[in-house]
Amino acid sequence: MKALLINGSPHKSGNTSIALAEVAKTLNAQGIETETVWIGNKPVRGCIACGKCFENPGRCAFDDDICNRISEKFKDSDAIVIGSPVYYGQPNGALLAVLQRAFFSCSANVAGKPAAAIAVCRRGGATAAYEAMNLPFQMLNMPIITSQYWGIAYGMNPGETTQDAEGMQTMRAIGNNLAWLLKKTGGQPAPGIPEGEEWTPTNFIR
Domain-embedded: residue 168: yes
The structure's pTM equals: 0.94
Domain-embedded: residue 202: no
Domain-embedded: residue 200: no
Q: Is the pLDDT of residue 28 over 70?
A: yes
Q: How confident is the model over 171-199, as a mean pLDDT?
A: 87
Q: What is the mean pLDDT of the chain?
A: 95
Task: Give the Cα separation of 176 and 121 in Å (integer).
Answer: 23
Selection from 166, 174, 145, 14 nearest residue 92 by Cα:
14
Question: At 198, is the pLDDT very low, low, confident or very high (cuts 50, 70, 90)?
Answer: confident
Domain-embedded: residue 193: no
Q: Is the pLDDT of residue 191 over 70?
A: no
Domain that holds residue 158: 2-185
Q: Residue 98 sits in a domain of what CATH number?
A: 3.40.50.360
Domain-embedded: residue 107: yes
- Kindly report, residue by residue over 128-141, the tens digit of the pLDDT: 999 999 999 999 99
Domain-embedded: residue 171: yes
Task: Give the Cα separation of 147 and 114 in Å (integer).
Answer: 13
Domain-embedded: residue 204: no
Domain-embedded: residue 194: no
Backbone angles phi, psi at 53, to 5 degrees: -70, -15
Q: Is the pLDDT of residue 197 over 90?
A: no
Q: How many CA atoms lie within 13 A of 123 on its CB side?
A: 1
Domain count, the chain: 1
Question: At 196, is the pLDDT very low, low, confident or very high (cuts 50, 70, 90)?
Answer: confident
